[in-house]
Structure 1
Amino acid sequence: MEPTFFSFTNKEKSSHQAIGAVGYRHAGNSFNGSLLHDFELLVLVICDEAAITDLRIEHCISGSIQYQMRYIGKENLKQWVVAGENREIVKCFLHGEVIWDVGGEVARLRNELTGFGDSMRERRKLKEFAGFLRTYVEAKQYAQEKDFMDAYYSVLQTLKHYARIELIDQGIVPESSVWDQLRSLNTVAYKLFDELADSKETLEQRIELVLLACEFFVMSRMEDCCSVLLRALRSRKEAWSIQELIALPEMAHVKEELPMVIRKLVYRSLVKQTTSLTGDRWGETREIRYWA
């Protein structure tokens, strides 16, 4: 990394509580326009703020190099790893070159994310399983309607979630190039992806084959993938309303998919339901509540 980038150290530390910076240069002769916006270098300035909610970006030039500088809070990176968001930015942080680091904070944060601890893995696995269920159901619906092109697309997304779960099981943070990460592992998801893409069977037959494998995955892995949710359900004697579950901090990253996941767990007898009387403007109703 060019020494000229050390020149913004003091400025960033004072103005944004920065603890360090990581630079990621795009490989090859072309730029990744979707991420770097035609800049050959992305500089991530890591800040000590809990999380940065507003987008802070600067476009700069140093000598002959034009670069984009983006400010990120430490908690942003942790949240993105758990939620599977901003995978390109996470990749840049994990694989970029540390330009400067105050007290080794950036190195410790990178080790924490690379280590992918149990709590982080469980939450990310639930997120990917929820995405798996959603796209799997979509694919089945499209296939039943003989809409095989849309079914193919949904199946492909389902396999990506499957692949990320396999990476998580290996203690690997899933990145944007999930198939490159899986290639050397020769996993079930990669074999299904290869079958879906290159088999001589008809498109309908390929989709049916993958959907059968996905159905087996749902039956065999649901309890494991939903362990953090099941533990929350067992954390008190009283049954939970769906709104109470959605409000839990550890469920924030799956709140949109949580109703679907809960109903699937009930269907598979991993979660039980009961009812309680409630009063509202429609009169007496019985609210469904959940326990495990």
Structure 2
Amino acid sequence: MEDILRPIYQERASQANTLGIVMINKREKDVPVTDTFDSILLVLVSEAEVPVFVKHYTYYGKKAALYMVTDQQLNEWLLLGSNKKIFDWLYNGKILFDRNEYIHGIKKELIEFPFYGRKLKMGLEFAKLIRRYMDGRAFFDNGHYLDAYNHVVHSLHHLARLAVVEQGFHPEVTVWQQVKQIDPEITKLYEELVTSEEPLDKRLELLFLASEFLIHSKMKSGTNHLVDVLAEKEFWSINEIINHEEVSLYNVDLTMLLEYLIDKSMIEVVMKETKGQGVYHRYYTLSKKLY
């Protein structure tokens, strides 16, 4: 298979902006990793007209895909976890070309998982967890149990990913297999939600009670990054927080997270007068009890 695709990747390897090339072959009973393709060629480049360029090939009844990905896009995927297959590709793929040990450096960093990267990743997962949990709670309170169920399943998934990151590992495609070893209590909660024969509303009610405790137990690790940022100065407007280079990665989950932390007395609201009578600006500051 590698011999057949050699002309394709050799052409890419000869280009000056190519940083590395990895081949991933489909493993038996592991179709999702390669999206049903027999082989994937991952070509990492320093720059390109588009961040991701894809080509599909057919050969002798088999199919292959080429992904040309910029260094910037790869780093975004690794940080945000928005392309879970990329971890498997880098961990298990065969390195065909590696300019100045670029890919070896990435793999080394993935294994070591620097602490700062973990803090930010935990913050992003915690924000997603709170968003899903709060939305699910709102649907439940209004009797929309199927919608609540959907959000709760997602919230447990983010809780599982947070637990994995907390222990210094990257969440992979098989995150439930990982978390079963790391935090079996979360796995048990998930299994009870999806396999219990109790009526759906009863299952959700019990899960919300149990989730409160688990979320609370992850609050410190999940908010470390945001707390570090907010400690940079005393008062913040929402616009300043949203446009902070790192906090902007929290995206649509940020406002819900702030309101949750206000409710938990970790963040305080400071009101400042505007020109309008009875109308105040809202500013945010860390609670004094955190110091």
Give TM-score scaled by structure 2 length: 0.87
Aligned twin of 1:275? 271
Aligned twin of 2:289? none
Aligned twin of 2:248? 252
Give the deviation of 1:186 after TM superposition: 5.0
Q: Which runs of 5+ in 2 are unaligned?
A: 287-291
Equivalenced residue count is: 286
Q: Distance in 2 between matches of 1:169 and 1:37?
A: 29
Residue pair 1:275, 1:288 contacting (<8 A) in 2 also: yes
Aligned twin of 1:163? 160
The one-letter code of the counterpart of 2:254 is L
Residue pair 2:51, 2:70 contacting (<8 A) in 1 also: no
Aligned twin of 1:60? 57
Alpha carbons of structure 1 residues 18 and 61: separation in structure 2 relative to 1, 3 Å: farther
1:175-194 alignment to 2 at 5 Å? 175-194=172-191
The one-letter code of the counterpart of 2:248 is A
Alpha carbons of structure 1 residues 77 and 221: separation in structure 2 relative to 1, 3 Å: same
Residues 31-90 of structure 1 show CA distances to partners (whole Å, capped at 9, x for unaligned) of 54xx756521111101123x8754311223566653110011223222212212011233
Give the deviation of 1:263 after TM superposition: 1.5
Aligned twin of 1:104? 101
Q: Give the percent of matched residue pairs that are identical in Structure 1 and Structure 2.
A: 25
The one-letter code of the counterpart of 1:45 is V
Alpha carbons of structure 1 residues 53 and 246: separation in structure 2 relative to 1, 3 Å: farther
Give the deviation of 1:208 after TM superposition: 1.4
Aligned twin of 1:140? 137
Out of 56, 75, 79, the position equivalent to 1:78 is 75
Residue pair 1:166, 1:187 contacting (<8 A) in 2 also: no
The one-letter code of the counterpart of 1:41 is S
Matched, 1:24 2:24: yes
Aligned twin of 1:90? 87
Matched, 1:242 2:241: no
Alpha carbons of structure 1 residues 186 and 220: separation in structure 2 relative to 1, 3 Å: closer
Residue pair 2:52, 2:70 contacting (<8 A) in 1 also: no
Q: Report which stretch shifted further, 137-146 or 252-261.
A: 137-146
Residue pair 2:45, 2:71 contacting (<8 A) in 1 also: yes
Matched, 1:290 2:288: no
Out of 42, 47, 51, the position equivalent to 1:44 is 42
The one-letter code of the counterpart of 1:190 is T
Aligned twin of 1:203? 200
Residue pair 2:24, 2:34 contacting (<8 A) in 1 also: no
Residue pair 2:40, 2:65 contacting (<8 A) in 1 also: yes
Alpha carbons of structure 1 residues 45 and 172: separation in structure 2 relative to 1, 3 Å: same
3-state SS in 1 of match to 2:232: coil
Residue pair 1:23, 1:42 contacting (<8 A) in 2 also: yes
Alpha carbons of structure 1 residues 52 and 188: separation in structure 2 relative to 1, 3 Å: farther
Alpha carbons of structure 1 residues 99 and 145: separation in structure 2 relative to 1, 3 Å: same
Give the deviation of 1:156 after TM superposition: 1.0
Give the deviation of 1:119 after TM superposition: 1.5
Give the deviation of 1:178 after TM superposition: 1.4
Residues 169-209 of structure 1 show CA distances to partners (whole Å, capped at 9, x for unaligned) of 12111123211222333522111012112234332222112
Q: Which runs of 5+ in 1 are unaligned?
A: none
Aligned twin of 2:7? 7
3-state SS in 2 of match to 1:104: helix
Residue pair 1:6, 1:99 contacting (<8 A) in 2 also: no
Q: Distance in 1 between matches of 2:273 and 2:159?
A: 40
